[in-house]
Amino acid sequence: MRDSPNLSLQCKCDGEKGAPKKVTAFGCRNGGFAFCDGGMDDFHCRDGTVLTRLDLLRNKLDGYGGCICKDGYRPYCKSTGGPPKCPDGSDLDLSMGLPGEYYTHCKVFKEGDKPNPK
């Protein structure tokens, strides 16, 4: 899903002194959103459905807000067979924050599970 440059989020409130703070609320210890490195068509459900950022936004705005994949399993990066990575290449740390219900409200792949593309 990395269809934009390496995105690492920082913010600074008006009148706040010091360096901007890293936005870690999406599960990336050094800030930002987790993405797939294989481009815009790399984020998939196990059934082969390709997910875009627009799909993720629609999932939330349509009020569904749960797992975006119909089979209830977390989407994955087709290029690696694994979860999306943070902008610095690290793994998501769900104790830092949650990327979104589209991902966190899904069942986790067990080791040895294979996607079932169409």
pLDDT of residue 1: 37
pLDDT, tens digit (0-9, with 9 covering 90-100), for 19-55 = 777 777 778 888 888 888 887 789 999 999 999 888 8
Q: Coil, strand, or helix at residue 55? A: helix
- The DSSP element (H or E) to which 61 belongs, if any, is helix 53-61
Say if residues 53 and 1 touch (Cβ distance below 8 Å): yes
pLDDT, tens digit (0-9, with 9 covering 90-100), for 54-82 = 888 788 777 677 899 999 999 999 999 88
Buried b (16+ CB within 10 A) or exposed e, 2-12: beeeeeebeee
- pLDDT beyond 60 at 3: no
Name the residue type at position 59: N
Structure tokens at 14: 């008006």
pTM attached to this predicted model: 0.71
Beta-carbon contacts of residue 5 (< 8 Å; ≥ 6 apart): none
Sign of the torsion angle spanned by Cα atoms 38, 82, 96, 103: positive
